[in-house]
Structure 1
């Protein structure tokens, strides 16, 4: 069996997260600089030998400069000391027709924990330029405090400012390498 290498197509991918603010609304953020590299046996992702995702913390954006600066500070990601978020997959298993579970280790702020995310496999197609592409929607949840993102505040009325649960949502298109 041949090893097939895949890399992210950043123009057709996005990496987002969502967090509750004051427990009444949701703030969406994203990373604009990230990388995904995958090695599979032929085109079978369940036989992946390597799945690595990295995101540059300095590329975080929530469309609010003050909040983004706070997220990069030692209160949250501590970008000066921990420049990347990293996920290394170790098992991609079929759950149902086009649904999969991706198990791996997520490292944020120097803390590594096992995480499982849901993956919807969109399929493999050849685009008009002859490139073979594979598409995935990745969703999951993590507790930010488990990764050292422990800043907390409470309003005078007792409302939590930022929830502990972070929802992950990414659409990833990979390009097969020659």
Structure 2
């Protein structure tokens, strides 16, 4: 049986990250340009055989130009030398109901580490234009320092400016390719 290929619908998908600032509030950032490709052995997502994600670091936005420029600098993502964040899935595992875990390798700033994210499968529908679509909510946490994003500063009171823990969240809609 041939595999079914799926690609992201960028108009109905988003990829964001959240980080504590001054340990009292959360700043949200987005990748405005990203790709997701998946292959399944059939038209269902009970056993995805391949999942690949990439995001353009130059497309980061936090709705603050100065902060975005700093995030793209060598202090953080070093977009000039590492313009892409990638995730290559190695195992898609059912954990009950509509919930799955996706295991794979995340690469940020040239550092690759194994990561597991939680996936809630929203289902498959045919849209009004005849396209078959699958929906997912993806969430997880990583340590930014594990990936070489170690910049920080300390306030007068001794608090860190940026937390180590980064929360990941994505709403992904994939389109079946004919």
- Which residue in 1 is equivalent to 2:4? 4
Matches within 5 A, 1:53-92: 53-92=53-92
- Which residue in 2 is equivalent to 1:121? 121
The answer to whether the Cα contact below 8 Å between 1:93 and 1:100 also exists between their aligned partners in 2 is yes
1:157 maps onto 2:146 in alignment: no
Question: What root-mean-square deviation, in Å, do the aligned CA atoms of Structure 1 and Structure 2 show?
Answer: 0.7
**Which whole-Å CA distance do the structure 2 matches of 1:73 and 1:3 have between them?**
40
What is the Cα deviation at residue 74 of structure 1?
Answer: 0.3
Aligned partner of residue 151 in structure 1, secondary structure = coil
Aligned partner of residue 160 in structure 1, secondary structure = coil
- Which residue in 1 is equivalent to 2:50? 50
Q: Which runs of 5+ in 2 are unaligned?
A: none
The answer to whether the Cα contact below 8 Å between 1:46 and 1:91 also exists between their aligned partners in 2 is no
TM-score (norm 2): 0.98
Q: Which runs of 5+ in 1 are unaligned?
A: none
**Which whole-Å CA distance do the structure 1 matches of 2:40 and 2:77 have between them?**
31
TM-score (norm 1): 0.98
The answer to whether the Cα contact below 8 Å between 1:45 and 1:92 also exists between their aligned partners in 2 is no
What is the Cα deviation at residue 47 of structure 1?
Answer: 2.7
Aligned partner of residue 75 in structure 2, secondary structure = coil
